[in-house]
Chains A and B, each alone.
Chain A
Amino acid sequence: GNSVTQMEGPVTLSEEAFLTINCTYTATGYPSLFWYVQYPGEGLQLLLKATKADDKGSNKGFEATYRKETTSFHLEKGSVQVSDSAVYFCALSESGNQFYFGTGTSLTVIP
């Protein structure tokens, strides 16, 4: 079946540090992969996506590359800011009708 395994949190980083949040997946077909972000008190927002192997999704300085050989979609950012503090969810979807999410990773960035 389909599932997503996400790096356990919480993660605490100093401002301008490098961020990696690991995500691996299992899928029966050829899924699209996503990162969603939830800021305090808000809904889940799409951060970036990749629809096929070797695609790189990017947005707001965040990047993730769809690696079929390692079934991974790790989220990276070169220099985090305090405003990046949020919960990050990795997800996959094959049909667009149903998403499979990870447990979420809480990130706190301290000045």
Chain B
Amino acid sequence: EPEVTQTPSHQVTQMGQEVILRCVPISNHLYFYWYRQILGQKVEFLVSFYNNEISEKSEIFDDQFSVERPDGSNFTLKIRSTKLEDSAMYFCASSESRLNYGYTFGSGTRLTVV
């Protein structure tokens, strides 16, 4: 069964450093998403991406965050200057269309900012 692949599974970074989280969505999917879950809290929407541009973003997704689809297969989330409160599990997801709600999630990247 097709999978959404996220790398790395765990990343530790120092406060203030830039970090890039990588995702390979399912190849025929057109919509891409990032969510995050701070330990003990809800899974929160960050951003959706379609046709090479952001289609929706949450209040969390401020100027410190950016997304990119640098080639035909990868979808990345960049945090420019990490803060302690960015420590969370980050989930990438993709879907073929919005209407069938067929999200496929990756297994997540656990980001720890020290």
Contacts and interface: CB of A to CB of B under 8 A. Distances in A.
Interface of A: 4, 32, 34, 36, 41-46, 49, 89, 91, 93, 95-104
B107 A97 contact: no
B4 A101 contact: no
Nearest to A45: B105
Contacts of A44: 43, 91, 93, 103, 105
Interface of B: 3-4, 6, 31, 35, 37, 40-45, 48, 55-56, 58, 91, 93, 95, 97-108
Contact of B107 (A4, A42, A104): A42
Interface-centre pick from A36, A49, A95, A99 (highest chain B CB count, 10 A): A99
Given A49-B101, A96-B101, A43 B43 contact: no
A46 B102 contact: yes
A43 B48 contact: no
B4 A97 contact: no
Main secondary structure of the interface of A (DSSP, over half): strand
B104 A43 contact: yes
B42 A4 contact: yes
A41 B99 CA distance: 28
Contact of B101 (A4, A32, A41, A43): A32
A44 to B, nearest CB: 4
Nearest to A100: B45
Contacts of B99: 96
Nearest to B95: A96
Contacts of A42: 107
A99 to B, nearest CB: 6
